[in-house]
Structure formats: C-alpha cells, structure tokens
C-alpha cells in the first residue's frame, strides 16, 4: 500500500487541467466515493493493526494533499482573466448605439455658456402665464395684434390665462421682485397659434437676456451682441443693427450677422445680401421699468431675444423646423459628434 500511496502522490504533483471540467474529472478520479483514494481507505480497514499506525497518517496526508491540489486548480480557473471583467452580462447581445444631446439642447447650452461668461444668470418662469406678465407689464396696448386669438393660445377661453408667447414674461417677473442691478438670461419654450410648416411651428424655444442698471447704454448692448455673435459663429463674424419696433423696447433694433456660409459675399442662404437676421433687441422702454416697480429715471437697461431654432438652423444648416420635434433618429444621429 505504501507503494500505491507514493505513486498516487507523485501523480498528484504532476496533474494539470485545461479547464474547470478537467478539474472536476480529477476530483472524481481521486476523491469521489469510487475514487482511488477512497479505495485505499476501504482497503485500509483490512490492514493488520500493527501497520495501521504507519499507514494511517500517510493515507490522511495523501487525501489532504489531493484536496489541496484539486482546490488550487479550481481556484486558478475561477480567478483567471476571462476577458469579461466589468462586462454587464444582463445587457442585450444586440449592438447599442450611444445617445446624444438634442441639437436644440446643444445650442441652448452654448448660448447660456456665452452669456454666463458675461455675468448673466439663468432665470425661469411658468409656461402657463397671465395677461399681465405676457402683455400688459411689457407695454402691449389693449388692442395690440399679439393679443388676438390667432396668435395666442388661451386656456379654456379665459382671456387672462394663456400659454406664454415669449420668455419676456420671465423678465417681468424678475423685475417685479428684484431691484437692479439685474443681469439675467431666460431660456424656455414658448407657444404661438401658427400653422406648422418648414419655417414655423406652434411651439419653439427662445433665449432672452435682460440687463438693468445705472447708466446702461445702447453701446453696452451693441458690445454684448458683438461678443455673442463672434463667440457663437466665429471671430470673423460681423454684425449690423437695423431699426425696428417692439412694444417693450425703445429704441428697438434687429441684428444681422455676416453670413457664415459665404463670409458676407452673398449666397442662396442669405439671399445674396451677405447678411442673416438672428435676433431682436433694444433699450428697455421706461414704461416697462415703471410697470415692474423700477425707477426709470434712475435705471436703464437693454433686452434681447432670439429663437434657438433659428440659431441652430444657422449653425447646422437645418432647413425644416419640424425636424426638431419629430424625433427621427436618423436626424438625431447626425449630432453624435456635437458637444
């Protein structure tokens, strides 16, 4: 029996396995009920008593050695680098594409970032508003066309509750509760009762800015606009201001930028003019300041507003506004590399 014990031990010292199934086969061969070591244990019962003291410890030592060797092999496969460390085995086997931000979100974040570098903070307000904050506080006359049902969505035919038509209502709310200096930017969704087409929609997104303080001038407005245009469209961008009219600003202007496609030389996009309109602006009308509880004799300010869809059109040459709200994944995937 001594020879068999030594032979089995020598075999155990040399055993190897390629995988866990081979380890299990070795366990069965040596340690199962019908394994070689178990057979030695059965034969040990017939050994004369005088020899049991000699063979017993050796047999136990063999069994312990076999157990250690097989457990070591099993652990080596359990701890081996299988190439799936960190892999989520609950994921579907089908390829999964990475998502991306919506193009309007990308442009909105960029606009907000530019104005934040000028010290503007974000202000937000409700989308369901009242007549005072949307119209009256902003110097809209009682018979102004914007109050007509064809332009405004009223709630349950109530002429005093409506979906805001611009984010200027946020400016009115801030001016009611805050004394200058005020420097805010108001991004958000707005609604107008218009037919949906490639160039118009019943809802869209705006960003408006308001700066009120002592000695704020039109020169401050122009410099702010130039900084924004060059940060958004490139350092070579030029701007021009054309006289316009808005109820809540006086004087008012519309701002054009040099066409970023042709560099101002004229193309089909800018209709041969070399200029593209992007926003409206002006000095806050004193009546608006007074309506919101701000002394117009002491303070002055400027306001500006732009459509995020308009800026996105210019930046990415998207010609159909409806693409922004239809969630066509083929369209959205075009912005996977955008910020």
Residues 6+ apart with CB under 8 A from 175: 182, 210, 212, 288, 289, 292, 293, 294
Q: With a cut of 80, say whether residue 94 has pLDDT above it.
A: no
Q: With a cut of 70, say whether residue 90 has pLDDT above it.
A: yes
Q: How confident is the model at residue 188 (pLDDT cuts 50, 70, 90)?
A: very high
Write down the pLDDT at residue 127.
93
**Average pLDDT for residues 188-214, to the nearest whole number?**
90
Write down the pLDDT at residue 338.
62
Write down the pLDDT at residue 84.
58
- For 292, list phi and psi in degrees, rounded to 5: -95, 10
| Residue from 125, 180, 147 nearest 293 by CA | 180
Q: With a cut of 60, say whether residue 189 has pLDDT above it.
A: yes
Domain ranges (residues) in the chain: 2-77, 103-335
The answer to whether the bond into 251 is cis (omega within 30° of 0) is yes
Q: What is the pLDDT of residues 277-305, one digit of tens each?
A: 999 999 999 999 999 999 999 999 999 99
The CATH class of 103-335 is alpha beta
User: In sequence order, what are the beta bridge partners of 209?
Assistant: 185, 304
Q: What is the pLDDT of residues 30-88, one digit of tens each?
A: 888 888 888 888 887 777 877 777 778 888 888 888 888 888 888 877 665 555 566 77
**45-54, 85-94, 150-159, 267-276: which range is least confident on average?**
85-94
What are the Cα distances from residue 129, in Å, to 186, 205, 246, 252, 318?
A: 15, 16, 20, 25, 31
Transcribe 257-307 into DSSP letters. EE-TTTTTS--TTTTTSSEEEEEEEEEEPHHHHHHTT--TTT-EEEEEEEE
**37-41, 103-107, 111-115, 252-256: which range is least confident on average?**
37-41
């Amino acid at each position: 029996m001594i020879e068999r014990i030594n032979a089995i031990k020598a075999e155990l010292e040399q055993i190897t396995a390629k995988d866990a199934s081979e380890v299990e086969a070795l366990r069965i061969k040596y340690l199962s009920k019908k394994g070689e070591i178990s057979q030695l244990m059965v034969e040990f019962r017939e050994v004369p008593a005088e020899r049991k003291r000699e063979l017993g410890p050796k047999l136990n030592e063999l069994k312990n050695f076999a157990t250690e060797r097989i457990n070591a092999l099993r652990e080596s496969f359990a701890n081996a680098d299988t190439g799936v460390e960190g892999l989520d085995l609950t994921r579907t086997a089908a390829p999964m594409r990475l998502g991306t931000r919506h193009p309007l979100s990308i442009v909105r974040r960029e606009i907000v970032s530019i104005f934040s570098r000028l010290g503007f903070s974000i202000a937000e307000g409700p989308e369901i508003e009242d007549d005072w904050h949307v119209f009256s506080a902003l110097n809209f006359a009682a018979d102004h066309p914007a109050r007509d049902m064809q332009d405004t969505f009223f709630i349950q035919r109530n002429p005093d509750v409506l979906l805001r038509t611009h984010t200027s209502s946020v400016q009115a709310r801030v001016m009611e509760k805050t004394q200058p200096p005020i420097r805010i930017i108001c991004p958000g969704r707005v609604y107008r009762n218009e037919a949906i087409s490639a160039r118009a929609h019943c809802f869209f997104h705006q960003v408006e800015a308001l700066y009120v303080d002592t000695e704020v001038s039109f020169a401050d407005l122009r410099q702010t606009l130039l900084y924004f245009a060059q940060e958004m469209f490139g350092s070579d961008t030029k701007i021009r201001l054309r006289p316009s009219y808005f109820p809540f600003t006086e004087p008012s202007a519309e701002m054009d930028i040099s066409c970023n496609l042709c560099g101002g030389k004229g193309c089909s996009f800018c209709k041969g003019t070399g200029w593209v309109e992007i926003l409206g602006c002006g000095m806050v009308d004193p009546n608006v300041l007074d309506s919101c509880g701000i002394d117009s004799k002491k303070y002055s300010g400027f306001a500006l507003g732009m459509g995020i869809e308009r800026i996105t059109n210019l930046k990415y040459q998207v010609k159909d506004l409806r693409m922004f709200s239809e969630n066509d994944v083929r369209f959205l995937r075009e912005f996977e590399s955008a910020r």
